[in-house]
Amino acid sequence: MSRAIHKLNARRLESLAKEGWHGDGGGLWLRIEKDGSKRWLFVWIRNKKRREMGLGSYRDVPLAEARELSAAARQILKEGGDPLEMRKQVAQEEAIEAAAAENEEEATPETPVPTFLKYAEEYIDAHKDGWSNEKHIWQWSNSLTKHAKLLLEKPVDTITADDLVDVLKPIWNVFADTAGRVRGRIEKILDAAKAKGHIQSPWENPARWQGNLEHRLPKRKRLATGHYNALGYEEMPDFFVALGNRPAPAARALELTILCATRTSETLKMKWREVDLKKGIWTIPAERMKMRIEHRIPLSEAAIAILRSIADGMIIEPDGFVFPGQKAGKPLSQMSMTMVMRRMDMGDFTVHGMRSTFRDYMGDMTPHAENIVEHALAHQVGDSTVRAYRRKDAFEKRRAVMADWATYVLSGSPDIEATPIEQEMAMAA
């Protein structure tokens, strides 16, 4: 029997050129136009009317990410929502935030045009109160002074696309993620300088990607076909510090997802009856697991601290969701953790990619056996014969794995004020 979803083969898509609609299942389609261009679409029918939503071009959105976006759209439909309306709502919220951030007094004509360094300092100072923590401020300043040295003494109205290429090309494929953030930060600062009146029209932002730098910089190296874009484990501790200072329930869900190396749906549909805080065990029933096999997760002290902080002051019902959504009896939206990452300027990465971050760290930096790490990810190890003889799940060995991972994840900059998780752990101790 053919699969209902995930029908497309990621490797064959690279050479696929036949004009028309190619379905992956679950409403996800790849549309190939006459000119050979490819784009992703999510299609659904409601009230006997066909509707569709673009998910981006094939060049910019790999198959794995398109599947994640379509899964999120299906979840929105399942909850009675409309994916297009949800997208509009998110866009409106971001537009309001951007307008408020850029609502600064215009400079007088007599004001001398500042250098990029001077205006970058003004921009950071004006926005730092809305950022998560001191580390975020330091990252902005450090990335610009370290990687954009060629721009620092240039007046903001003299910076060109050639200047941006000179800044970004040396790091574009060596430090791809950092290069992407530097480009985005330069773009925001120059946009703000234009809004302040330091740059006169007509003008186009030289740091703009689409239709500009995308044609000037070499094609970026991608992950192997079909893989999720993952945060490097070297960046995880500082990211976790920033995440810990965000108050949203979805941020706590993402913290738990990282600490337990779980899939999005496994975390969001978690119920209190699955958790034994005294023994430090989270048991996910077989019907909620991808492989339809019960999965026991040894909870680290940090994971327990998160769950206790959520339970504090709540009336706990065994069948209640740990991360309830706005609608009664529903969990948080499938897109909730993804939106947290986007608001942290981490939209290049996926929630599912955090599992790869865990796997890479365990493989590169610890002596834990590969099969134990694979068990921690709820992957089946060995062929059917090996699995038939090994009935145990190496639980105690996996407890050491998850404890080591939590220790590393919580090793972010010690000069930052303690996050809610660290405060909870300190109180428990």
pLDDT in tens, 257-297: 999 999 999 999 999 999 999 999 999 998 998 878 889 99
Give residue 393's pLDDT. 60
Look over the chain and give the mean of its residue pLDDT values, rounded to a whole number: 83
pLDDT confidence of residue 123:
92
Using the CB atoms, write b or e for 69-90: b if 16+ within 10 Å. Answer: bbbbbbbbbeeeebbbebeeee
Claim to verify: residue 237 and residue 156 sit in the same structural domain: no
The more confident residue out of 263 and 364 is 263
The structural domain count of the chain equals: 3
pLDDT value at residue 390:
40
Co-location of 198 and 238 in the same domain? no
Residue 176: give its domain's CATH number: 1.10.150.130
pLDDT tens-digit profile of 165-218? Answer: 999 998 887 677 678 888 989 999 999 999 999 999 899 999 998 889 988 988
Range of the domain at 397: 233-428
pLDDT tens per residue, range 294-310: 899 999 999 999 999 99
Query: Which position has the token pair 């400079």?
Result: 107
**254 and 376 housed in the same domain:** yes
Tokens of 47: 């009230």
Last residue of a domain, one of 183, 215, 247: 215
Q: What is the pLDDT of residue 132?
A: 52
3-state helix, strand, coil in the chain (%, to 5): 50, 10, 40
* CATH code, domain with 87: 3.30.160.390
Distance CA 155, CA 277 (A): 58
Domain's final residue, options 70, 97, 124: 97
- 259 and 402, same domain (yes or no): yes
364 or 133, greater pLDDT: 364
Q: What is the pTM of this model?
A: 0.49
Does 202 share its domain with 251?
Answer: no
| pLDDT exceeds cutoff 90 at 162 | yes
Q: How far is CA 349 from the centre of its chain?
A: 4
If asked whether residues 179 and 241 sit together in one domain, one would say no
**Residue whose pair of structure tokens reads 């975020």 in the numeric block:** 136
Segment among 11-25, 128-142, 269-283, 284-298 with least mean pLDDT: 128-142
The CA radius of gyration of the chain, in Å to the nearest whole number, is: 24
Residue 418 has pLDDT above 60, yes or no: no
Same domain, 349 and 282: yes
pLDDT of 111 reads: 65
Q: Is residue 283 part of a domain?
A: yes
Q: Say if residue 252 is in the same domain as residue 391.
A: yes
Whether residue 190 lies inside any domain: the answer is: yes
Using pLDDT thresholds of 50, 70 and 90, give the confidence band for residue 133: low
pLDDT band at 150 (very low <50, low <70, confident <90, very high): very high
How would you list the strands of the sheet with 20-25, edge to edge?
20-25, 28-32, 38-46, 49-57
